[in-house]
């Protein structure tokens, strides 16, 4: 999992972490500090920082696996884009395409569970 993905998970689930986990995570991913620098700042070993970050990242992945909030949000955003695209086409086309585009919109809306 790349840094962008793990930061996205943190944005969703970070409030569920301990203060120490948040500190380590933010120093690593937002301030781009090395493990040694974080260790010096927090008064722990480099290995301690590594272990803390590994556990934190595993917890974030586990939370996503159980709740799927990020996955659902991405699906909703994709569906919303499809709705927008279809609506834009509807506004530009004549009646012959209206039923086809309306069906497309209904299909996407159903995927959203609305």
Q: What tens digit of pLDDT does each residue of 51-95 get?
A: 999 999 999 999 999 999 999 999 988 888 888 778 777 766 666
* pLDDT of 96: 64
Q: What tens digit of pLDDT does each residue of 19-46 get?
A: 999 999 999 999 999 999 999 999 999 9
List the one residue out of 33, 34, 28 whose CA is nearest residue 10: 28
Higher pLDDT, 31 or 107: 31
* pLDDT of 42: 95
Which CATH architecture is the domain 3-67 placed in?
A: Orthogonal Bundle (1.10)
* pLDDT of 85: 78
Contacts of 53 (CB under 8 A, 6+ apart): 24, 25, 28, 35
* pLDDT of 79: 86
């Amino acid at each position: 999992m790349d840094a962008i993905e793990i930061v996205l998970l943190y944005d969703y689930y970070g409030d569920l972490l301990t203060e120490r986990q948040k500190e380590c995570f933010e120093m690593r991913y937002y301030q781009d500090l090395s493990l040694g620098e974080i260790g010096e700042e927090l008064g722990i070993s480099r290995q301690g920082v590594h272990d803390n970050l590994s556990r934190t990242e595993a917890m974030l992945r586990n939370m996503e696996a159980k709740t799927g909030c990020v996955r659902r949000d991405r699906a909703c955003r994709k569906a919303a884009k499809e709705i927008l695209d279809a609506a834009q086409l509807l506004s530009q086309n004549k009646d012959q395409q209206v039923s086809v585009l309306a069906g497309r919109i209904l299909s996407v809306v159903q995927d959203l569970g609305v």
